[in-house]
């Protein structure tokens, strides 16, 4: 509780984000954050919108990602009480205009973002947000019939196209590296 109160101060020390992330690596820390009798997760989600400290945001996203390893809480996190998706998606969203029908399918918090809205600038934080989304959306057990996805046969023409795309991407990357040197 003291840590959460300090994190929500007007100017919290950025190191508290790393401390929070480290504490959430332990099962006891995750249990404390996911305790439904305390509003810890909603308070953490509110911190994601603070632009003043990348270090603080990194720690908060890391703690949320660690909490998502507790699969039994996914339904609660995705439900109306917490509704974690808009908080995780907003930093990944850009100001691009979408067709009306696509825009209406988005959560309200992601619709019609102002032109000054920017994606999270820190690649590491964006990566952790994506990992958190994958954890909370996929869960721990595959649905019936999905357990052997690694054994699925990919059609030869598709496999060839994917390999060609990989080679092209490698060439472009090498070219960029050479130009930088």
Who wins on pLDDT, 65 or 103? Answer: 65
115/155 same-domain check: no
Domain extent, residue 162, equals 148-180
What is the number of structural domains in the chain? Answer: 2
77/105 same-domain check: yes
Other beta carbons within 10 angstroms of residue 132's beta carbon come to: 22
130/176 same-domain check: no
Using one digit for the tens of pLDDT, what is the confidence trace for 78-125? 999 999 999 999 999 987 888 898 888 888 888 888 888 889 999 999
Q: What is the pLDDT of residue 143?
A: 58
Q: What is the pLDDT of residue 69?
A: 92
pTM: 0.73
Using one digit for the tens of pLDDT, what is the confidence trace for 123-157? 999 999 999 999 998 866 655 655 555 566 777 88
7/74 same-domain check: yes
92/169 same-domain check: no
Tell which residue, 38, 30, 55, has the closest CA to residue 128: 55
30/100 same-domain check: yes
124/156 same-domain check: no
Q: Across all residues in the chain, what is the average pLDDT?
A: 87
CB 58 within 8 A of CB 52: no
């Amino acid at each position: 509780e003291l840590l959460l109160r300090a994190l929500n101060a007007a100017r919290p020390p950025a190191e508290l984000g790393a401390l929070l992330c480290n504490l959430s690596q332990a099962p006891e820390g995750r249990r404390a954050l996911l305790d439904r009798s305390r509003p810890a997760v909603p308070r953490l989600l509110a911190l994601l919108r603070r632009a003043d400290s990348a270090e603080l945001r990194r720690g908060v996203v890391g703690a949320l990602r660690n909490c998502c390893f507790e699969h039994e809480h996914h339904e609660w996190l995705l439900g109306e009480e917490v509704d974690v998706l808009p908080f995780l998606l907003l930093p990944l969203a850009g100001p691009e205009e979408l067709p009306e029908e696509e825009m209406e399918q988005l959560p309200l918090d992601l619709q019609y973002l102002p032109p000054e809205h920017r994606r999270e600038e820190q690649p590491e934080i964006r990566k952790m947000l994506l990992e958190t989304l994958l954890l909370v959306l996929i869960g721990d057990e595959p649905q019936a019939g999905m357990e052997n996805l690694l054994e699925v046969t990919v059609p030869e023409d598709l496999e060839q196209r994917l390999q060609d795309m990989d080679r092209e991407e490698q060439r472009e990357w090498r070219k960029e590296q050479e130009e930088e040197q």
